[in-house]
Amino acid sequence: MSKYTSHNFVNNQWLGDGDGNHLSILQKYSGKEIGKIPQASEAQMETAIVSALEAFETTKKWSAGKRAEMMQKLHDRLASEKERFIQLIIDEGGKPRSYATTEIDRCLSTLSIAIEEATRYGGEVVPMDFDNGEGKTAFTKRYPIGVIACITPFNFPLNLVMHKVAPALAVGCTVVIKPAPQAPMSCLAFAELMKEVGYPAGTINVLCCDIPVAEKLVRDDRVAKLSFTGSDKVGWYLKSICGKKRVTLELGGNAAILVDEDTDVEAKAKLMAVGSFLYAGQICISTQRIFVHEKVFERFKNAFLAEVEKLPVGDPNQEETLVGPVIDAGHLERIDNWVKEAVDGGAEVLCGGMVKNKSQNLYLPTVLTNTQNSMKVCAEEVFGPVAVIEQVKDFEAGIKAVNDSKYGLQVGVFTNSMSHFKEAFERCEVGGVMMNNIPGFRIDHMPYGGVKDSGLGREGLTYAMDEMTEGRLIVF
């Protein structure tokens, strides 16, 4: 059995003991136990922080060329293990094979971008040659800030780790990671690769742990930054206890699509169906709310439902599957309860609306209408295979509906009117507006993040690197 199925990773050592409790990792479709990892103790977390601080004394002195060289070795090693990591993500995350393959490809891309940025990332020349600065020259240089505390979710068990680790390595920081309890093994296996290619002990530490031990990491003043991806409730709480350290929060959303009256809805229906239900909707920017101009609502509804009914649901190991299992039984029950609450409140089920197979954690792709904005399926993040479609009288009403949310991550706007798109860009309260595309569109170097309860700060390689460094000014 591989170490990453039964150990934590601290200071380049595999730790098979912990606080006496263990985390059972299940294959999400079959329910079979595939890993049993000890919950790390507070003393082990202390060791991880100290080792990361010690490693930082080495990595902060590396040249840009050295950082790029080490990341290239890591990239090549991950590429050689691509199939193993794909299967890991399928098993522990329940991610359909095609999408798990895409995740590893994105991990490799994220690393490639980090390699490039490591050698061209720098400060700026500051204009000084006027008034009291006449005759002076000034510029800034960026320096790594230290240890980064990383807390990551289950839905991208490696690429969301990569969005924290890659920029840290690119600038010379070190990391302590608490991975998602449902899917920690991809991260642990990646730490093993870092050891194999020669990173100093302590550069990466990965610990599964209970809340008090995780809070020790978040509260510790020796840690320079918290980078958290997960729920808004947990994220804002962690920000409240983390002290003076820097914070990036990538939180949830109930992403919307706005469909204008001039949209070819039949041509776009498949894209929107996949955007709503891929990976059982367990994506922060999965489409949850769809607002359609009343003039094309019936056409859209019919086309959309026809495409939803075609989506393959089942075993994530099958290449054709797009909608696999929900991450665990608790989330399956929650999703079902939220749909039932909506129906009891007057919502209409257009398709799905029930568990397909409880033992396999499968929930049918579900489309609701006649909902109220106060219903959980509208107001909260479902993080499951549920979408709501509602008609709006005009584009103005659609923008108001999009903004009537505590979240604001990304929005998709389908229109052939440039004036309408410009209006949406100016007025939609989100971090990103996708023109004639679903809100789930993301390229790994772009600035990614939200407003309101959807988060604080931005990820994407150079944007994260900015947050992991500080500028130092020299004037001469």
Q: Which of 284, 381, 390, 428 is catalytic?
A: 284
Whether 250 is a known active-site residue: answer yes
Spatial separation of the C-alpha atoms in residues 242 and 337, rounded to whole Å: 34
Q: Which of 250, 307, 381, 467 is catalytic?
A: 250
Give me the phi and psi of 219, to 5 degrees please. -80, -25
Spatial separation of the C-alpha atoms in residues 339 and 352, rounded to whole Å: 10
Contact predicate 150/177, CB 8 Å: yes
Spatial separation of the C-alpha atoms in residues 246 and 295, rounded to whole Å: 48
Pairing of strands 410-414, 33-38: unpaired
CA nearest neighbour of 75 among 162, 176, 200: 162
Whether 284 is a known active-site residue: answer yes
Residues annotated as catalytic (active site), given as ranges: 250, 284
